[in-house]
Structure 1
Amino acid sequence: MEVVALVAVTVVLGGIVVLLALWGRKEGSNQQETGAEKANGHAVPEKQSTKKQKPQKPRKEKPQAHSFSHPLLASALKAHSGNITCLDFSSNGKYLASCSDDRTVRIWSTKDFLEREHRCMRANVELDHATHVRFSPNGRAFIVFLAYGDTIRVFKMNKKDEAFVFSVAQEDFPKRHKATVINIGIADTGKFIMSASNDTTILIWNLKGDVLATINTNQVSNAYASVSPCGRFVASCGFTPDVKVWEVCFGKSGEFREVARAFELKGHSAGVCGFAFSNDSSRMATVSKDGTWKLWKTDVEYKKQQDPYLLFTGKWSGQEPCRIALSPDGRIVAIASVCDITVYNAQTGEIEEEFKSVHGDVISDLAFDISNKFLVSTGDRAIRVFHNSAGYRAAIADMKEMLRKTTNKGTKERLQQQIKNAEKALDAAYKQKN
């Protein structure tokens, strides 16, 4: 019996040892699995769940499109998916070009401005985007300045049916500017291209991309520069309280000769923010940090040392950044200040129209079309097209004064018809609903 009891005790103890061994192996396995989970970033055990979790970032809401309405708003052109940086009308007035940071240039038909649908043609700017765009004089090409490439690229426009096919010139212009480019332009004569940077540099190029001349404006920094509509002059303004104008001279056979100082607009007491030409370059308008804008007669014999005439000084209470536009006939001045636009009579200085919060961002460009019917602006993803009501009123006032003075029957009849047409167009502009 003792032997049997001893065997039984031995079996029981052996079983207990086996059970303890199995239980220990299981615990080791569980610990290894837990360690593996930690290493692989799996769920954390309960004892670690008390660790403070990082708050989740709120989801970014899609920015709402800026809303704007006004009785004089003729249309809003919307096709770009990025902010528009520059506008330009073709010399024949048929097209409007716009460039954006969405890597496209859009070509709009101005005859669609008053239609419900606004068609446009798209040119892609490969691996870059354009900061400025300008039509060639014949409307068969346009140039852009590349944001990343820091150079000029030429696009050719070939008409096919009722649309354009765009092709890029073989090579971009060489990179020559050392500072940010603030504007480019093409002379209406087709003889040269201008580019200006925000240091003191203006470059004059031929159409092949060769630099003909370098201008040092000596204005500490350039705020704006452009080519005159007549294609003879290049002008710039900046830190100093004046506007400098140069003539780009060519020989009788078309060869480049020199860039010569033409004249200066002096009269502001602080830096000039911007300027604009009338369509025939006989008038210029300037706006300054001194809180004034000025209208000048620039059709002078500067080679005989004749200075431009100051025609009018008006006041403005806007803020920078600002832009100024002068109507083609020189009767109306428009000034964009941040996101607002104020329209003035250039002869009386009276405020004709005020448009508040026109765009959701700073207005990047402002211009009248060459027909004098519209004022266009941009500063976000839309182009706002306004009826030039102030232009109609100024033209009507001038024609009535001419009618009062004239004694010729034929002239009277012509003026009476023109006044009637202008009044009809003005009434139609105010009656339009958007």
Structure 2
Amino acid sequence: MIHSRRTRAGRPGPGEDPIHTLRFGVNYTPRHGWFHSWHDFDPARARADLDAIAALGLDHIRVFHLWPLLQPNRTLIRRTAVDDLTHLVDLAGEAGLDVMVDGVQGHLSSFDFYPEWTRSWHHRNVFTDPEAIEAQATLLRTLGRALAGRPHLIGLQLGNELNNLVEHNPVTADEVDHYLDTLLAAARDGLGDGGLVTHSAYDAAWYGDDHPFTPEASARKGDLTTVHPWVFSGDCARRYGPRSPQVQHLAEYGTELAKAYATDPARPVWVQETGAPEPHIPATDAADFARATVRNAAGCAGLWGVTWWCSHDVDRSLSDFPELEYTLGLFDSSGRPKPIAKALAETIAELRRAPENAPPRDIALLLDCESGTRSVSGPGGAFFESWMRLRTEGVRPAVVLADRALDAEHLAARGIREVVRPT
């Protein structure tokens, strides 16, 4: 359900429970200099970006600092870098935007950012080295304490898609669990009870056989589940076509898949990244894709919100980005809103004026991944195609794990009256 009584920023009004108010926002990519702008943070430029974002009717942003600038030495956290981050958060609040802060970056738009104390002669595995883990915990604790108490702060996330770092930092699923538990505890210790504490992973956590970041970790650790349903994962858009049901319902599907792995039936899911990457989604189809993605996801019970990737195109004066990164913004690199920005703003306004009262998902499709074959639930997989087939036939299927298919209490808590097997 989408509540319509909102403050200027789209935040919950008095008496509303923020965890049940559907939110619409954008991942903030600075127009000038991309995230390299943290080297010489310019409040005036940031303010202009934030005002443009707020003018679209969005209610929140997600922000990212760079790990090497925050913590250039294992035992040194730069106060000026932390101050720049808190300044940006305060500017967002002045613009009427709530803020989610990601702590360890980590990985952004195909680039990895490691402090030098983790590399070369000083190489440390960021997931398994005890001192590296403690350093990250100290950083998150420090950021939490610096940010705590701001009424427009949504919370603190460990970092952006940390599982992208697995290739250069081998780790087991048990070691990932220890890593996440340690960092989540540190973030909570720093932030206190004044906001959400979360983590995120790219789609390999859900679709990748034997990937050490597991669906269970995503769906059971932290205060809510975050999903990043990208249309290039599993070649979804190329496999089925940019206007296909498989593409237009992908964020909805990702939300329902995540709910299946949660032990708490009421645990919210946040579509934290989704976007229209060219050429997977041609520019001529981007507006319709945005409308369909948001509307379909909004029909999921327990959805926290949708946060688009991203606010501004990467300027082509910057080199070596994958081609799709240059055109993902709602605004072009000169700051002009693109057609997709108008489509997204209009769709959000329509949903706020007339919330969709979607019928319950009382039919669930059974997912059996006990043998470790998560790929069946990814694009091209048998389970994925069965779910999409049901959806195109007018069914709105939930997802239930095989080991819960006979758990009457679990099914009742989720409103499921019938479980069907994939065909």
Same fold (TM over 0.5): no
Please give the TM-score of this superposition, normalised by the length of structure 1: 0.28
Q: Compare the two structures and name the one with the higher helix fraction.
A: 2
Q: Point out the structure with max Rg over C-alpha.
A: 1
TM-score, normalization: structure 2?
0.29
More strand by percentage = 1
